[in-house]
Amino acid sequence: MSFINYSSREINCKIVYYGPGLCGKTTNLQYIYKKTTPEQKGKLISLATETERTLFFDFLPLALGDIKGFRVRFHLYTVPGQVFYAASRKLILKGVDGVVFVADSQIERMEANMESIEDLKINLAEQGYELEKLPFTIQHNKRDLPNVAPLDEMNALLNPNSVPWFEGVAMTGQGVFETLKNVAKQVLFELKKSY
């Protein structure tokens, strides 16, 4: 649910980073935070445990610029990836405008990826959304590791509808902005369609 404020001339859109535990959702946000100027970003809020695992969500507000005289703000959220935080994950999806699925490319994490994407579909359905109808981008993360699955295999498993996908190494920033830009573009075009 984007929020269009004609009074302050702002558009707010919500983008959620989803994926299995330790796939790099928070790392994506941290890299975006590091690489944007102070005028473009707000505080990066992380509700995490003592061992830096996401407990509830991370939140990063971004104001990248104007379109047609409207300030475009993106609110980026991550969900807690660990399986037992299912109830919290569901809450974060409320009002989502676009989803990024961060997949862990390591072969031994394929099952976790598939479980997570199923979980995403179920949770979206509970809020009345369909993944197929939402702006959706996939990032195959951790491509720098030695034991990664081939990309076509990952796409066959996780991306049957051939949505836009990118290779990523969130630690070094590879693919991070490409992913964000792609989902942002889809969200804004969706707005264009609706109005």
Partner 1 sequence: MSEFDLVMYEEEFKRIDEELQKLHQQANAKVLFLVDKNGQLIASAGDTHNIDTTALASLTAGNIAATGGIARLLGEREFTILFHEGEKDNIHISLIGQRVILVVIFDQRSSLGLVRLRVKKASESLTKIFDEISRKAEKEKVEGRLDESPFAEISDEDIDNLFR
Q: Which residue ranges make up the site for partner 1 (CB under 8 A)?
A: 1-8, 11-12, 14, 42-43, 45, 47, 56-57, 59, 61, 64-65, 67-70, 72, 75, 87-88, 90-92, 94-95, 97, 133-134, 177, 180-181, 184-185, 188-192, 194-195
72's CB contacts (< 8 A; 6+ apart) are 10, 11, 13, 63, 64, 65, 66, 188
User: What are the angstrom distances between the C-alpha of 153 and each of 26, 110, 117, 170?
Assistant: 25, 10, 15, 21
What is the DSSP code (8-state) at residue 69? T
CA distance 177 to 195: 27
Exposure pattern of 130-144 as b/e (b: 16+ CB <10 Å)? ebeebbbbbbbbbbe
Helices in 23-144 by DSSP H: which ranges?
25-35, 86-92, 110-126
Taking the least distance from each CB to partner 1, the nearer of 148 and 180 is 180
Q: Which is nearer to partner 1, 143 or 185 (CB)?
A: 185
Give min distance, CB of 60 to partner 1, in A. 10
Q: How far is the CB of 57 from partner 1 (least distance, A)?
A: 6
Half-sphere exposure of 51 (CA within 13 A, CB side): 2
Distance of closest approach, residue 25 Cβ to partner 1, in angstroms:
16
Nearest to partner 1 of 94, 118 (CB atom): 94
Cβ proximity to partner 1: between 2 and 137 the closer is: 2
Q: Which two tokens stand for residue 129?
A: 């959304």
Nearest approach in angstroms of CB 155 to partner 1 is 24
We find the least distance from the C-beta atom of residue 84 to partner 1, in angstroms, to be 14
**Mode of pairing for the β-strands spanning 70-78 and 54-67:** antiparallel
Nearer to partner 1, 78 or 105 (CB): 78
Residue whose CB is less far from partner 1, 23 or 76? 76
| Least distance in angstroms from the C-beta of 99 to partner 1 | 12
